[in-house]
Chains A and B, each alone.
Chain A
């Protein structure tokens, strides 16, 4: 923790895409925010637009109320009590400086002023001006809610407390990874990313690749998002490129490799001229969608050489197959895919290696910036390590390129290595030193290097994360839950009962906490009519999860990313949840024609029955659970999860994913003293009367075309389960076990229907729900 005075109120000036998005994200963090724009009413309009936007800048619709909007011309005094003022206006130094002059008159002494500029050097914005000591550059990435990188540039005269205070609030409240950068054009990510885009376009043209091939090679094999390069340009806007290129050209020396590679592509100029700037304009870009004669939508790709659109063709290259093994096999492959990968990596990784220490003090910062700012799986130095630094140096030499000093220095070694369980990174002098984590950050990946697991199976492991707390990690494909994982849940509980730990956290660092039960397994079992096995798997899951709730130690779920179906049900059986803000939870079973079978129905009834502020009587909990489960609702943030009682008011939300495990551990430890599992009170359920009411709602959905015939069948089973079955009566208690039995019966009955099996198959084949 720093001693900097806390930032309690923030102003953002400029309600363009970036400014408005930053303001929304400040609101997401629960910090009051003022948003001003030069266009009268512009800020209010931007907030209105963001409430409807998808992906949503706000984590909850209601957070829009935290943004106070105003006009720059008349409402400047609104910034008077703000601790941090973020400028995100037009990218011209004169306009920015004129604004800062205006702000001098109203901002409070010692308040922090920062620019979100992506191109203008800090020196050009300060230059001895009276705000110099309070000034820094805070460069957010688009969209500000979702991109975790914040590049931070301070000047020689910036007060140290300024950077400390901004870092503190950006890290903890906004959930960003703050990367200090040097005051160089494009900082880290856009300098390297811009050069990469340039190289990827040039080489695709020169080597005669289709855009599908280029994107396929640039994407998955290199750990880059599957949009590759042309898809990425369509996403961010093709017209952005010339702007960035012009600004880089103006501020970098002519012999800079990025500048030297700049080339005017007539095709790109033509697309921009035609308003085909990508997805935002509706006219498409490199890729377009067109309706054929039957009205079906078909995807087209532009031919780089001929400039005409033609239906997309899947990239088929041997090098892509080779790339599935490793990157070295990809770049060594002689086909055009391999040559392409090789040429782009030579350009980009060579360029990146030449930029340290010009743009950053260390290589870890460069890698982090590319991972978090461009969503690369590996940063440039990590990619070089994967290729082998000596191989890469040889590639450079073969291509007649200079070999950057850092590559000489790493020589036969690696930029990253592990010594006695500690991750180390190479320093500029060639020595290695431990990777430094910000204070309070606890990463499972670091813990895993230090000691063997307490227990391990194919699908899950149990780790000692210190202070008597264990962490149960899933590690199956997409963290799907299978009998092996369930077995490990049981084993963990048994070990906890014997005193192996005091509290349990369920957490992993994969992209998604868990996508649910292993459907492939269920389909296979159904196809061979192994009904008994399936039912016992359902029962195993129910028992394992029920045992989590009944365990004599506290259990805290710590999800990030998707927690669907069975992945959601695990969480519903934890004593508490500490969720990353970007957690997407839902019971999505009806999408595959079944209902939650691992206690999810019982757990949702209980949550609503125990919720405060819910009307009394047997129906409200049932209606709430039915509404959510029957529509396969998936919440789009942890804050939205509260609306559906997937998170209870007492559960926590952590903004910074790197701080999630530490927060969950602290929550678990706080529950240890005097812990006793909650005694579940019996439920009162309405039985057939309630079922009749729910089915009326289903009839309404059918009339509106919102429910398919099989939806009605699935909903009928769900309604029977949630209302306690045909014999339930509002005068009698129903136990969780009774509801779980109904769940099981409904699940098995549905799995025996053809439409359900068709849904499961379709989901496995396409990843989408079949609407039959």
Chain B
């Protein structure tokens, strides 16, 4: 069977929504800049790409219509490259990768641009026109429950005290700051142009985060809650892209694959504890890959909230040393639609850097789902 590989990974810098350096950058333009750079860097003939699969959690406004197709035009992809927008909320761009892998397995193409974008500055979370089904909202409010509340539920059910969440956040910030300081994030970042300015570094990090500082923050979602702005991922602007192709395609284009896609999975869970989504999805994916947690050398577990990340690590029995080696979303930011491509690309890159064998990329999804990808080193 043909191996399906991740042959390249790039992303924009991530910046705080509303006040960061990307606030004035349209999301379609942002995604196009990242894709253009990825195509240029790999040196592939863009005409050989089957499809641009673009994830976005709130595909409306400037990231609306079929934004994938429009991004293709802005990025200068040939007309023959198709474009599809995918929405699985936070799992959107990991879903892009899964769709590409499925298509390749079907023999429906050799190479796919799998990307994600979210401008949380320019399209609010929930979109401009939130119109819930009144009956469902009344009978099953969990279906529409706010993410912060689900994080509180997880903290409560899994007994994750505030101080533990804060220690986790401090460590995430420390790892990200160290990675940034040592230039370990530079290779993955595509400098983007905003007006006349070029933005080349991440902007969400708070390297001076301390446990004492976090302890002083007010709960962000419930007066009696434990989750604060410091233990939640910030609203973020960003885009990310990976090249998913056959091993053969990579090699004939002179590309060294970062990792092989070994297995994929999605799974539903209770929406009121949506943060636990990675547990079911990861178990399925690992079973499909024929591995166990002990086989994992690298894990990218999206830190939507410290509480759910800790609870998932505990449930899955993950070794903290392998999880989010260069920091996670609490420090780096979480542009919803872009995060899946980032953590999958990052897991592949880390697998190569750390010389590991297996990697897991997984994330929780609003509404009660998880998504997971198992990667294997390319021999």
Contacts and interface: CB of A to CB of B under 8 A. Distances in A.
A binds B: yes
Interface of A: 615-620, 686, 688-693, 695-696, 699-700, 703-705, 730
Given A696-B137, A696-B146, A705-B223, 12 more contacts: A616-B128, A620-B128, A686-B129, A688-B134, A689-B134, A692-B138, A695-B137, A696-B132, A696-B141, A700-B149, A703-B223, A704-B223
Given A700-B146, A703-B149, A693 B221 contact: no
B61 interface: yes
A700 B141 CA distance: 12
Interface in B106-129: 126, 128-129
Contacts of B221: 700, 703-704
10 contacts: A615-B61, A616-B128, A617-B128, A692-B137, A696-B132, A696-B137, A696-B141, A700-B146, A700-B221, A703-B222
B379 interface: no
Contacts of B130: 619, 693, 696
Contact of A619 (B129, B146, B220): B129
B123 to A, nearest CB: 9
A699 B186 CA distance: 42
Most B C-beta atoms less than 10 A away, residue of A686, A696, A705: A696
B131 interface: yes
Interface in B81-128: 126, 128
Contacts of B133: 689, 692
Chain B facing A: main interface SS: loop
Contact of A617 (B129, B144, B219): B129
Interface string B38-66: 00000000000000000000000100000
A618 B222 contact: no
Contact of A620 (B129, B138, B146): B129
Nearest to B60: A615
Given A703-B221, A703-B223, A704-B222, A690 B146 contact: no
Interface in B170-220: 219-220
A619 B128 CA distance: 7
A695 B130 CA distance: 11
Contacts of B223: 703-705
B196 to A, nearest CB: 18
A702 to B, nearest CB: 9
By size class, the interface of chain B is 20 to 34
A730 B129 CA distance: 11
Given A615-B61, A700-B146, A703-B222, A692 B128 contact: no
List of 3 A-B pairs having minimum Cβ-Cβ separation, nearest first: A617-B129, A705-B223, A615-B128
B132 A692 contact: yes
Contact of B134 (A618, A620, A692, A705): A692
Contacts of A619: 128-131
B340 to A, nearest CB: 26
A618 B131 contact: yes
Contacts of B219: 704
A623 to B, nearest CB: 8
A696 B140 CA distance: 12
B56 to A, nearest CB: 16
B129 A618 contact: yes
Contacts of A688: 134
A700 B220 CA distance: 10
Interface in B220-275: 220-223, 225
Nearest to B133: A689
B131 A693 contact: yes
Nearest to A689: B131
B128 A696 contact: no
Nearest to B131: A689
Nearest to B132: A692
Nearest to A618: B129
A634 B373 CA distance: 51
B222 to A, nearest CB: 4
A695 B148 CA distance: 16
A711 B130 CA distance: 22
A689 B148 CA distance: 22
A616 B128 CA distance: 8
A211 B238 CA distance: 61
B112 to A, nearest CB: 31
A696 B222 contact: no
A7 to B, nearest CB: 32
A103 B219 CA distance: 52
Given A696-B137, A703-B149, A704-B222, A686 B131 contact: yes
